[in-house]
Structure 1
Amino acid sequence: MKSLVPVVLCCSCFLTGCSLLSRFGYYKRPTAERASSEEAETVRFPDSFEPGMHLNGPIMEALRVAMDDFLPPGSKVKGDNDRIAECLSRWSTYDTSVLQANEDLYFVSFLPRLSRCGLDAIVLDAGATYAIDGKGRILDVR
């Protein structure tokens, strides 16, 4: 009987797209797509990042914690409208703001922009604001 467990697990993984493994916290992140070498040759890197957006390590950690909780890798939003659910399942839909209140407190806000998906709809309570401490713990979510 014990020897059937791996076989059943493997079969269910193939049939369900390994959703069973993702329920246990396993998710293989896809590798980033690379542009062709011809396209890459057209890119000119800046001489300075001074005018750019600067995120220090603690801000990046607070952002990562909030992102992984709000829309975990491999997850899909469920809802009555498939187009809206698909839209809300993509990170490119959201505007994200990070506010460092002090050395040990960060607020991370996610606000959806459904117009990026070609949708003219209003969804209440689709975003969230996280309070994250300097240890990377979620203090509260609204």
Structure 2
Amino acid sequence: MKTPSTTAMYRTLLGVTLAGTLSGCSFFGYHKQEKARWAPPEQRRAVDFPDSFATGLHLTGPMAAAVDAALRDFLPPGGRPAGRGTDPRVEECLSRRSTYETFILQANEDLYFIRFSPVLDRCGLDVPILDGGAVYAIDGQGQILDAR
């Protein structure tokens, strides 16, 4: 036979369980990725697609996966670099993906090196920095092997 205190305990347990499941994704590090932004219609109408990609840059599927893995680790969506007591303008600049040049070296069929090098001029800054980038070793499945 249920007593009023047992019923209250079950309700409390149910409430805690529901609250835990609602916020559970944040406990496991799940964060919704922001969708790509689309330009306004008037800007999109001005685009003239090419007839050929012969002179374009070609990334294989594994190469694109390697770049994606390195970039998500280096600058996660919505993430910011750890402040090292530097100028806040520099920290803001280093938190933008558009600040970086990306270099890709395919060492062999299953090993890629990805280097991110900051270009602070893109933020209108003329400040020297020593350690703003990173180099990643990524396998063909998009797994990070090492980073410096």
Segments ≥4 residues shifted beyond 3 Å = 4-10
- For 1:59, the equivalent position in structure 2 comes to 63
SS of aligned partner of 2:107: strand
Residue-by-residue CA offset, 1:58-106 (whole Å, 9 max, x unaligned): 1001111111111112111132221111111110000000111110110
CA–CA distance in structure 2, aligned partners of residues 78 and 66 of structure 1? 17
After superposition, the CA RMSD in angstroms is: 2.2
Report deviation, 1:31: 2.3
Cα distance in 1, alignment partners of residues 130 and 17 from structure 2: 43
Structure 2 residue 51 is the aligned partner of structure 1 residue 47? yes
Corresponding residue of 1:29: 33
Task: Give the match for residue 121 of structure 2.
Answer: 115
Aligned equivalents of 1:137 and 1:78: distance in 2? 23
1:103 aligned residue (109, 116, 122): 109
Structure 1 regions of 5+ residues with no counterpart? Answer: 14-19
Q: Number of residue pairs matched?
A: 133
Structure 2 residue 93 is matched with structure 1 residue 91: no
Whole-Å Cα distance in 2 between the matches of residues 57 and 5 of structure 1? 42
Q: In 2, Cα distance between the equivalents of 1:37 and 1:70?
A: 32
TM-score relative to the length of structure 1: 0.81
- Larger mean Cα displacement after TM superposition, 77-86 or 91-100: 77-86
| Identity in percent | 51
Q: 5+ residue gaps in structure 2? A: 1-11
Bigger radius of gyration, 1 or 2? 2
| Contact 1:27-1:74 at 8 Å conserved across structures | no
Alpha-carbon offset, residue 36 of structure 1: 2.6
Paired residue type of 2:32: K
